[in-house]
């Protein structure tokens, strides 16, 4: 099978302030991205963390691209153009605005730490070559993001330049897949605050009963509605296995009429059990393949 025929998933972080312009009125813009690129694209909600972080503002949201390598790169180009257009409308009337800067934006990818080396190349040779050939600036975080095995790869340039760089990076990810059984904990915005609060709550040991360090908590995540069947499984077999393996309680809410593309999954258990369940659910979502278009 050729690379361009294989379905793959690429995750990115989008500033919350830009999400409205990307989605558009009634979802018109994001529908255009899907239609023109052929890729499945979804921006996950962050309000599932509101109850656990009532005094925190989560400034980024996860955007998932799913499709062939060409489709993912094309979708990234259209999405970044939407970001530029929205920024232009907001800033053009401001005095002193540099028009050249208005044409540039950034796309922050989330990449497993074991795959980052394939993007950088030996001695940084590949990332330097990619920057020179595409006229982009590419920044890779030194450390993994909180409570995850992912690093950020920030691509800065015009939409066309980002598209060119994405073609190179997506090929690197395709050619260097994660080895089987690799631990893969995906970054979730707000997780850092959530876990720091949990640690504070459990910092004083409760000697009244054994095992008190494994306190239970509740976490919510959003999954694309089209993937719910994959997580539930036939007659609920898959979700039962998830509960047994992770030791957590898991429920999936019906889709909200205002946001039918997403469903909220509620997980209750220990922090380790929740992390295990979230990782398993993300893997199931990755296995979902959209139906071929006629």
Q: Counting beta carbons within 10 angstroms of the beta carbon of residue 211, is it exposed (0 to 12), middle (13 to 18) or buried (19 or more)?
A: exposed
Rounded CA separation 66/12 (Å):
11
Question: What's the rounded Cα separation, in Å, for the pair 103 and 159?
Answer: 8
Give residue-wise pLDDT tens across range 118-144. 999 999 999 999 999 999 999 999 988
- pLDDT class for 214, splitting at 50, 70, 90? low
Beta bridge partners of 94: none
Residue ranges of domains in the chain, CATH in brackets: 3-175 (3.30.310.210), 202-287 (3.30.1370.10)
φ, ψ for residue 88, nearest 5 deg: -60, -45
DSSP states along 127-154: HHHHHHHHT-EEEE-SSPPTTSSEEEEE
- Is residue 33 within 8 A of residue 98, CB to CB? The reply is no
Which long-range CB contacts under 8 A does 28-35 form with residues at least 24 apart? Answer: 29/82, 32/78, 33/75, 33/78, 33/79, 33/82, 34/75
**Residue 43 and residue 230: Cα distance in Å, rounded?**
19
Residue 188 has pLDDT above 80, yes or no: no
- Whether 292 has a pLDDT exceeding 80, the answer reads no
Strands (E), the chain: 8-15, 40-43, 60-67, 105-112, 137-140, 150-157, 216-224, 249-252, 262-270
What gap in Å lies between CA 67 and CA 39, rounded to an integer? 5
Rounded CA gap, 100 and 247, in Å?
53
DSSP string, 77-92: HHHHHHHHHHHHHHHT
| Mean pLDDT score, 251-269 | 86
The percentage of residues in the chain with a pLDDT greater than 90, rounded to a whole number, is 43
Backbone CA torsion sign across 46, 52, 54, 59: negative
Model-level pTM?
0.65
Place 99 in a pLDDT band, splitting at 50, 70 and 90.
Answer: low
DSSP, collapsed to helix, strand or coil, labels residue 200 as helix
| Average pLDDT value for residue range 23-52 | 81
Q: Is the model's pLDDT at 108 over the cut of 80? A: yes
Is the pLDDT assigned to residue 30 strictly greater than 70? yes
Q: Judging by beta carbons within 10 Å of its beta carbon (0-12, 13-18, 19+), is residue 103 exposed, middle or buried?
A: middle
Q: How many residues does the chain have?
A: 294
């Amino acid at each position: 099978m050729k690379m361009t025929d294989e379905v793959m998933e690429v995750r990115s972080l989008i500033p919350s302030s830009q999400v409205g312009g990307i989605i558009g009125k009634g979802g018109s813009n994001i529908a255009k991205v899907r239609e023109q690129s052929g890729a499945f694209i979804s921006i996950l909600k962050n309000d599932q963390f509101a109850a656990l972080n009532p005094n925190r503002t989560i400034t980024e949201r996860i955007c998932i691209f799913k499709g062939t390598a060409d489709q993912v790169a094309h979708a990234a180009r259209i999405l970044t153009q939407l970001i530029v257009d929205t920024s232009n409308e907001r800033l053009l009337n401001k005095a002193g605005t540099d028009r050249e800067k208005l044409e540039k934006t950034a796309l922050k990818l989330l990449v497993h730490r074991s795959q980052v080396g394939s993007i950088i190349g030996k001695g940084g040779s590949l990332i330097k070559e990619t920057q020179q050939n595409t006229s982009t600036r590419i920044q890779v975080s030194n450390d993994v993001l909180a409570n995850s095995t992912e690093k950020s790869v920030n691509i800065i340039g015009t939409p066309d330049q980002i598209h060119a760089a994405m073609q190179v990076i997506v090929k690197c990810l395709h050619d260097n897949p994660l080895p089987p059984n690799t631990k893969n904990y995906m970054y979730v915005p707000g997780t850092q605050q959530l876990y720091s609060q949990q640690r504070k709550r459990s910092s004083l040991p409760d000697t009244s009963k054994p095992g008190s360090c494994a306190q239970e908590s509740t976490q919510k995540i959003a999954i694309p509605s089209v993937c719910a069947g994959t997580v539930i499984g036939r007659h609920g077999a898959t979700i039962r296995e998830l509960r047994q393996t992770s030791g957590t309680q898991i429920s999936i809410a019906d889709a909200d009429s205002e946001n039918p593309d997403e469903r909220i999954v509620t997980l209750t258990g220990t922090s380790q059990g929740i992390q295990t369940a979230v990782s398993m659910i993300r893997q199931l979502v990755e296995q979902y393949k959209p139906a071929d278009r006629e």
